[in-house]
Structure 1
Amino acid sequence: MKTTTRLMLLAVLALPVLAACNKDDATPTAKVEKAAVPKPANQTDEDAWNAYIQDQVVRNAQGASSTFAYTLPVPGAEGFDESFQRQAEKAKEDVSRGGVEGTLMAFGSADSAKTADLIASAFQGVGVDTMKGVRVLFIGDAADRDRAEAAVKPSGAKFEFIEAK
């Protein structure tokens, strides 16, 4: 029985080595980068906006050990105010716990001004340097950048901006 168990263990351990030996050397090992999702032309296409925001977060998540995304429905959607309030409370709660190095907090939606409001609300009253090692990604319009960055700055988090275009 011991011999059978040992042979099975050897076979399992040898499989990755054998698989590596059978690789075709002509196969390129470089990853093919997927084309970026374009910014939606329609402010009311929630699915397109969610795909766009998700793509931007994934493209900028390198080095993040954990990612938190805060998004809003499209402007004028039913329940927009309630959704904004829920996201604001969730983001504020997450920020109030302090930052864990390597965390990415990403904010984006079709309504850049409301997203900047969400960031300002989340970081209001945050302790100085309580978010060191955390990256805050804002996907929005250049007109809202300074306001969002000013809200994040006291926390010590690294602010990153991607213009939605």
Structure 2
Amino acid sequence: MRQKMLTMSRTALLAMLAVLALAACKKEEAPKAVAAAVAVPTNGDPNAWQAYASDVVKKNMDGVTNAPFVYFLPLETDADFQAQYDAQMDKVKSDLGRGILEGNMLAFVSPASNKMGDLVVAAFADVAAGSMKGVKVLFIGQAADNERVKAAVAPSGVNYVFVEAK
């Protein structure tokens, strides 16, 4: 069951990344009608949260030249939450350990904002100061988590952006 959930989560995130990559690569086109913003989900539906995350990420792609890294956690009440938390922590630490180059974005979103904040703080604890200049970190969550996440990522030199999920 854990493997199936991880596979479904990864598949959904990869699909979202593919859409974002295509959006980032498009040349300037004739103006189109502006789509309505996707509302913040009022429940823990992962599909609704991923649609919301996709919308917010697209709006924050300025200065980003590559497909973003998007990390998602479900509600803490999800039966498989701890396994998904552990998998995302491993993924984030692996990505950070390889190094993130200028022009990339790391986007963090979850209906469990506090837990996602914990993940970001823990993952950035070992990142070298100034090693991520030109990288954007987007945290989509609750205002109560903003300052501690900002303080955790600031030493790395990232361009930090907070979007309140309200």
Same fold (TM over 0.5): yes
Structure 2 residues without counterparts, runs of 5 or longer? 1-29
The residue identity in structure 2 corresponding to 1:69 is V
The residue identity in structure 1 corresponding to 2:32 is K
TM-score using structure 1 length: 0.78
Stretch of structure 1 that moved more, 96-105 or 82-91 = 96-105
Give 1:94 deviation, angstroms.
1.1
Conserved 8 A contact 1:102-1:133: yes
Conserved 8 A contact 1:99-1:132: no
Conserved 8 A contact 1:99-1:133: no
In the alignment, the residues of structure 2 paired with residue 34 and residue 62 of structure 1 have an alpha-carbon distance, to the nearest angstrom, of 18
Partner of 1:152: 153
C-alpha change, 1:31 and 1:63, in structure 2 (3 Å) is farther
Give 1:139 deviation, angstroms.
0.2
Conserved 8 A contact 1:68-1:106: yes
Conserved 8 A contact 1:92-1:121: no
Matched, 1:53 2:53: yes
TM-score using structure 2 length: 0.78
Tell me the SS of whatever aligns to 2:126. Answer: coil
CA RMSD of aligned residues (A): 1.2
In the alignment, the residues of structure 2 paired with residue 58 and residue 162 of structure 1 have an alpha-carbon distance, to the nearest angstrom, of 13
Q: Runs in 1 of length 4+ with deviation above 6 angstroms? A: none
Partner of 1:14: none
The residue identity in structure 2 corresponding to 1:80 is F
Give 1:158 deviation, angstroms.
1.0
Give 1:56 deviation, angstroms.
0.9
In the alignment, the residues of structure 1 paired with residue 159 and residue 34 of structure 2 have an alpha-carbon distance, to the nearest angstrom, of 26
Q: What is the 5 A alignment of 1:9-158?
A: 29-42=30-43, 44-66=44-66, 67-158=68-159
Give 1:95 deviation, angstroms.
1.3
What whole-Å deviation, never above 9, does each CA across 1:91-134 have from its counterpart, x for those lacking one?
A: 11111222301000000010110111111121012111111110
In the alignment, the residues of structure 2 paired with residue 74 and residue 36 of structure 1 have an alpha-carbon distance, to the nearest angstrom, of 22
In the alignment, the residues of structure 2 paired with residue 157 and residue 139 of structure 1 have an alpha-carbon distance, to the nearest angstrom, of 16
Of structures 1 and 2, the larger Rg is shown by: 1
- How many residue pairs get aligned? The number is 136
Between the aligned residues of both structures, percent identity stands at: 45
